């Protein structure tokens, strides 16, 4: 399947109503959207199994093309995935593509992948940092990784909106699963007041915390 054939395939699967809806969600008018739903994009990625190099050579003129690239790479075993990950992270330019790029192979190589997380966290790009944070959220939410999570949250540049929201989301999840440790981290005032308070807000939205825990979190607002 060449690029022209692939675009024709995507256009056949596109829906104008969904295109308008998803364009609004992306909040970036510079991104061109055809209007193909995520399940269909993940199905399209399977068409390129074993032909990832061919897919990666296609231009990234549409949101869907990039999404399919990352979906295809996310399905690879770790030893092959790692050869593409830097390219993929460099292509991410919106929250939906970022949050949709969740390679399950990382779950079996978490310690091995930590240097990549640190590298992306040190990058000046908003969505490189966002990817580092969402990867921690997806695959590192365990007691033994809490110190790494807290360290990464402190290093993240939360002046960038989608990094700020990612860190708040990550700390909120820590509060839900490891409440005492999360509270101790909040009490250290290691985050900006804005991100600190957003993490509390997002944690309070969870049904997994008790009313008493939510009242105590309110007292930690800055």
Percentage of the chain beyond pLDDT 90 is 98
Does residue 1 surpass a pLDDT of 90?
A: no
- Cβ-based burial of 42 (10 A; exposed 0-12, middle 13-18, buried ≥19): middle
Does residue 78 surpass a pLDDT of 90?
A: yes
pTM recorded for the entire structure:
0.94
pLDDT tens per residue across span 19-60: 999 999 998 889 999 999 999 999 999 999 999 999 999 999
The CB density around residue 4, as the number of other CB atoms within 10 Å, is 8
Task: Tell me what pLDDT residue 87 has.
Answer: 97
For residue 210 the two structure tokens come to 């008790």
* CA triple 187-125-129, angle to 5 deg: 40
pLDDT tens per residue across span 129-142: 999 999 999 999 99
Task: Tell me what pLDDT residue 194 has.
Answer: 98
Percentage of the chain beyond pLDDT 70 is 100
For residue 124 the two structure tokens come to 């000046």
Does residue 201 surpass a pLDDT of 90?
A: yes
Token pair 């309070």 is found at 204
For residue 162 the two structure tokens come to 């989608």
Q: What is the DSSP letter of 59?
A: -
Task: Tell me what pLDDT residue 155 has.
Answer: 96
Residue 197 to residues 167, 189, 218, Cα–Cα distance (Å): 11, 11, 9
Listed by start position, the domains of the chain span: 1-93, 109-222
Of 130, 126, 96, nearest to 22 (Cα)?
96
Mean pLDDT of 198-202: 97
- CATH fold for domain 109-222: 1.25.40
Mean pLDDT of 185-208: 96
Residue 216 to residues 136, 182, 184, 200, Cα–Cα distance (Å): 26, 12, 12, 10
pLDDT tens per residue across span 164-183: 999 999 999 999 999 999 99
């Amino acid at each position: 399947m060449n690029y022209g054939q692939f675009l024709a395939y995507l256009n056949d699967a596109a829906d104008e109503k969904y295109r308008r809806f998803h364009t609004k969600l992306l909040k970036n008018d510079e991104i061109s959207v055809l209007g193909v739903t995520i399940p269909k994009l993940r199905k399209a990625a399977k068409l390129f199994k074993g032909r990832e190099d061919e897919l990666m050579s296609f231009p990234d003129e549409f949101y869907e093309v990039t999404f399919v690239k990352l979906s295809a790479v996310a399905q690879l075993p770790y030893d092959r995935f790692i050869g593409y990950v830097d390219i993929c992270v460099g292509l991410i330019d919106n929250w939906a593509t970022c949050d949709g790029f969740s390679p399950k192979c990382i779950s079996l190589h978490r310690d091995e992948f930590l240097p990549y997380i640190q590298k992306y966290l040190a990058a000046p790009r908003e969505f490189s940092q966002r990817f580092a944070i969402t990867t921690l959220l997806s695959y590192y939410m365990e007691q033994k990784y809490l110190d790494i999570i807290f360290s990464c949250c402190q290093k993240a540049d939360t002046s960038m909106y989608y990094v700020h929201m990612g860190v708040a989301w990550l700390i909120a999840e820590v509060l839900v699963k490891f409440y005492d440790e999360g509270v101790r981290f909040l009490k250290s005032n290691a985050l900006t007041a804005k991100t600190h308070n957003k993490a509390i807000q997002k944690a309070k939205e969870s049904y997994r915390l008790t009313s008493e825990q939510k009242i105590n979190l309110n007292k930690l607002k800055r």
